[in-house]
Amino acid sequence: MHPDWQSKFFCGVALELLRLAATPEQTRSEVDFLEKTFVAGNSAQLLDVPCGNGRHSIELAKRGYQVTGVDQSEESISEAESASSVLPTKWIVADMCQIPGTDRFDGAFCFGNSFGYLDPERARSFLNAIARTLKPNAKFVIETGMAAESILPGLQKKRWHHFGSIYMLSENQYYAKEGRLDIDYTFIHDGHVDTRPTSSYVLTVNEICRMHVEAGLQPVELLGSVDREPYQLGSPGLVIVSEKSARTGNNSPRS
């Protein structure tokens, strides 16, 4: 699998499907969660990375926050810019590990499965970059479906998905030695068939938490979703809330 598969995947029909899959109600619910987590004034500087088409950033900007979105997809950034011309937003086309600034942001978040796209070395680089850009005591939120305790217990070889007029087949191949899950997505839309490969790294919750701590981000909550139920084996997703802090002592995550 080519390490830069994302640059060819996130365009055209794949982005169209993502637009259909994420409802306005879902976006509002996720942004409500972020607001309650950050507990920052509504003029706070927030970072969304990778931001996609900016659905979270735009909703936050409508609520008065100053938001910077980073994504390597030029098509996604262009869409975000068009939808936010009068809002307090800044959009940057860049790799998610290349985040500008030091002690700049009052909060940051990484939603979707993007964290899983990074191999362990790049995942550590990403978390180090996040810690560098956050102000002391600022919160960071990762939401992912790629934690081992979430995805492996019910992993299916093939699955069909349907959003609007788009049908999508996902075919999974897990490589235990590498801790890597390769998924081929086949899109069927308007008479066209388009298959695109992806690759994600599956880490245990313990490994992800340990990477946070190494980067100077102390996990303070492990949740199963933005509804705030405690994370457990088989939860469909993992939400980690961490904090950049100079505090010492026992900072083990609550579960």
Chain segment 74-88, per-residue pLDDT in tens? 999 999 999 999 999
User: Nearest-CA neighbor of 170 among 181, 152, 157, 153?
Assistant: 157
* 9-40 pLDDT, tens digit each: 999 999 999 999 999 999 999 999 999 999 88
Decide which of 2 and 58 is more confident: 58
Q: Are 56 and 111 in contact (CB under 8 A)?
A: yes
pLDDT score for 3: 64
Q: What is the pLDDT of residue 1?
A: 57
The tens digit of pLDDT for each residue in 90-123 reads: 999 999 998 988 999 999 999 988 999 999 999 9
In the prediction, which pLDDT does 252 show?
A: 45
Cβ neighbours around 152 below 10 Å, total: 15
% of the chain at pLDDT higher than 70: 95
HSE, CB side, 13 Å, CA atoms: give it for residue 82: 7
Element (H, E) at 194: strand 192-201
43 pLDDT band, cuts 50/70/90, is confident
User: Among candidates 178, 226, 168, which has minimal Cα distance to 203?
Assistant: 178
Q: What is the pLDDT of residue 253?
A: 52
8 A C-beta contact, residue 199 and residue 193: no
Residue range 215-253, pLDDT digits in tens: 999 999 999 999 999 999 999 999 999 999 765 344 445
Residue ranges and CATH numbers for the domains of the chain are: 6-145+204-244 (3.40.50.150), 150-200 (2.20.25)
Listing DSSP states for 195-255 in one string gives EEEEEEE-B-HHHHHHHHHHHTEEEEEEESSTT-PBP-TT-S-EEEEEEE----S--PPB-
**pLDDT, tens digit, for every residue of 172-216?**
999 999 999 999 999 999 999 999 999 999 999 999 999 999 999
Sequence-distant (6+) residues with CB within 8 A of 210 are none
CA dihedral 210, 212, 215, 216 (to 10 degrees): -100
3-state secondary structure of 125: helix
Q: What is the pLDDT of residues 54-68, one digit of tens each?
A: 999 999 999 999 999
**Dist CA 42 CA 63 (whole Å):** 7
Burial tier of 94 (Cβ tally within 10 Å: 0-12, 13-18, 19+): middle
Task: Show the tokens assigned to 235.
Answer: 């939860």
Backbone angles phi and psi of 152, in degrees to 5: -75, -40
